[in-house]
Amino acid sequence: MQLLADGNATAMVKAELEVAFERFQRNAFPHAGAKSSAGAVEVTVKDGAADLQLGVSEAYELDVPATFYSSGSAVATIQAETVFGAYRGLETLSQLIRFDFGSSSYVVDGAPIKISDAPRFPHREILLDSARHYEPVRVIEAILDSLAYAKLNTLHWHMSFPFVAPSHPELAEAAAFSPGERYTAGDVAAVVAYARSLGIRVVVEVDTPGHAASFCKSNPHVCPAPDCPEPLLISNNASFELIGDIFADFAAVTTDEVFHLGGDEVRYDCWNKSDAMKAWMAAEKLATFDDAYAYAVQRVAAGVKAAHGRAAIVWGEAWDTFGPSARSSWEAEERCEFPPRPRRLARRATAPRRRRWGETADPSDIMQTLWPRLAAIAEVLWSPPHGANATAAALPRLEAFRCVLEERGVAAAPVSNPLARAAPTGPGSCRSQ
């Protein structure tokens, strides 16, 4: 099988498609010694200059002729606005192809097939928390590969200080779990580049002003007290200077238009014990700690926008606390909000019962934690549910997708487990467990 790129495609697009096509062939044709008379895949990309940012088109049209696997001259076509839509089309085609053991050949059931497809929502992410458990770069790349199989398009990377910030290497020196569990700036740039080759954005999160005790291990002057380290002492300009330096380091090795500022779980106990904090609030005419919280998040958001042109997003807790008074800071948040259910009501209803698996997963179980359950979320984010029995209808697809994941080397847990991560209870097919 060969790739035919549109004759008007730029050299960059052709190079990107060649990489994607090599990946497609590895995934679509896993068995050695197979007979195939399949033709070519012709890919047309209309906009070769499109950047990988929130809202970029991922739409595609796929046409697989009836003779695709019976004629060496047959051509399957993918037409897409951008190279990222072409990636999605190639992924769909790879999952339509199956190996027939009776004929020792690859086939496409149901051809001819015509698909016109586009995502329901432009932002479809997972959160990777390497601030709590270090995930090596190779593990992250394997995770990115698996996300592409389900057409997820964003890695929200909560990092903080396994990152060796060039401007403040002492942060990682003091806060990393061990000397070897750290990321260089080059590591981050490499992950961003690898993710782009899959059509996946990387949105970096650094916690501010809460969850910031790691700052204090090497820079105690930015914290309320040695025994009361967080939130950051925002009465001190040095805190904002340090944050600005860190985001400048990330801006140098990331490409997304969005930075995640954290902004959640800001507790006021340490601020309340700080005379310097209360004196500063009085001078700034900030009546409550909520006002100080809003000031801190808004100032950091304004700083990353002014210095790096990046939009700021935060956890919903910040929006619930003071969002209406800071609406102009949250353009990206408003663009990302979507209507499957009322966001704040849903979070409040489920928060006491939710399991924070992302905070407890490490390389030993990260894949089983994500898969196959993440596929159900991915499907809802890509396509709206259809019919009254949508959940029952989705189960066979989820079971089949688990087999796809395992065929491609992803350690997906059994679908039938009451909890993720657990091993199969006995012998059986990848579809029946």
Letter for the amino acid at 372? P
**Cα 143 off chain centre by:** 9
Cα separation, 319 vs 193, in Å, equals: 31
- Helices assigned H by DSSP within 252-359: 269-272, 275-283, 289-308, 316-322, 331-336, 343-350
- Helices assigned H by DSSP within 78-209: 83-96, 137-149, 169-175, 185-196
Annotated active-site positions, please? 265
205 contacts 300 by C-beta, under 8 angstroms: no
Cα separation, 198 vs 23, in Å, equals: 10
In DSSP notation, 12-68 reads HHHHHHHHHHHHHHHHH--STT-B----EEEEEES-TT----TT----EEEEE-TTT
Backbone torsion region of residue 47, taken as left when φ is above 0, otherwise alpha when ψ lies between -120 and 50, otherwise beta: beta
Closest CA to 82 of 199, 4, 191: 199
